[in-house]
Structure 1
Amino acid sequence: MEKMDILEAFAALSQSTRLETFRLLVRHEPEGLSAGEIARELEVPHNTLSAHLNILARAELVISRRQSRSIIYRANLIRMQETIGFLVRDCCAGRPELCEPLLNEFSSCTPSEKAPSS
């Protein structure tokens, strides 16, 4: 993953509605949610949400598919993994035991768990 890709991902997530949208989609993996459901859940106007989803899609943090008349959005967990991997690639200067708490935090997470919102 290139540095510019990472910067685009962080820029996309640096806005409150986009961050909450991404977190909501992670909690609803692997089914995803329609744009209408996301808007209702986050209490965001549809046109505003559409703009935010476009920014997340350009950063490849969300993927979408058409289902009948709706578009279903999902978190791109591979992109999330690549982004986190970029941050920890040189973790702990070659001493992986120092990174064990961080790795344990991620290994306990499964896509089917419903994480509580903060």
Structure 2
Amino acid sequence: MDQESAIEILAALGHPTRLSTFRLLVRHEPEGLSTGELVEALALSQSTFSTHLAVLAKAGLVQSDKRGRHFIQRVRLDALRDLMTFLAKDCCQGRAELCGPLVAELTTCY
């Protein structure tokens, strides 16, 4: 990941609706949620949500799969992993004890 890609992803997540959408989709991996379920869960209109979904998709954070008549939205965990790696890559500068707590936190499932 390069700096430009990281900035695009962070900008996409920098809105409350998009961040809520992303976090909701993370909780529903790997099944994903239909667009209608997301609209209902977030109490938004379809048109408002479509705009936010387009921003997340353009940043590479969400992918849409068609199942029957429904579009299922899924988070791209590889994009999350790449962003987190990019942000933390230089954190320890050879001193593992600096990144140890971060790695431990990331490996704890709630």
2:52 is paired with a residue whose SS is: helix
Alignment of 1:8-47 (within 5 A): 8-47=8-47
Structure 1: which 5+ runs fail to align? 110-114
1:64 is paired with a residue whose SS is: strand
- Residue in structure 2 matched with residue 112 of structure 1 by the alignment: none
1:55, distance to aligned residue in structure 2 (A): 0.4
User: 1: distance between equivalents of 2:63 and 2:2?
Assistant: 20
Superposed CA deviations along residues 1-22 of structure 1, whole A, max 9, x for unmatched, are 1111001000100001000000
Number of residue pairs the alignment of both structures matches = 110
Asked whether 1:107 is paired with 2:101, we answer no
Give structure 1 regions of 4+ aligned residues with deviation exceeding 3 angstroms: none
User: 2: distance between equivalents of 1:64 and 1:53?
Assistant: 10
1:32, distance to aligned residue in structure 2 (A): 0.1
1:106, distance to aligned residue in structure 2 (A): 1.0
What is the identity, as a one-letter code, of the residue corresponding to 2:34? S
User: 2: distance between equivalents of 1:39 and 1:45?
Assistant: 7
Normalising by structure 1, report the TM-score. 0.90
2:73 is paired with a residue whose SS is: strand
User: 2: distance between equivalents of 1:53 and 1:60?
Assistant: 11
- Residue in structure 1 matched with residue 78 of structure 2 by the alignment: 78
Superposed CA deviations along residues 78-101 of structure 1, whole A, max 9, x for unmatched, are 000000000000012210111111
Structure 2: which 5+ runs fail to align? none
Asked whether 1:6 is paired with 2:21, we answer no
What is the identity, as a one-letter code, of the residue corresponding to 1:62? V
Normalising by structure 2, report the TM-score. 0.96
What is the identity, as a one-letter code, of the residue corresponding to 1:106? L
What is the identity, as a one-letter code, of the residue corresponding to 1:33? L
**What is the Cα-based RMSD across aligned positions, in Å?**
0.9
Identity among equivalent positions (%) equals: 48
What is the identity, as a one-letter code, of the residue corresponding to 2:95? R
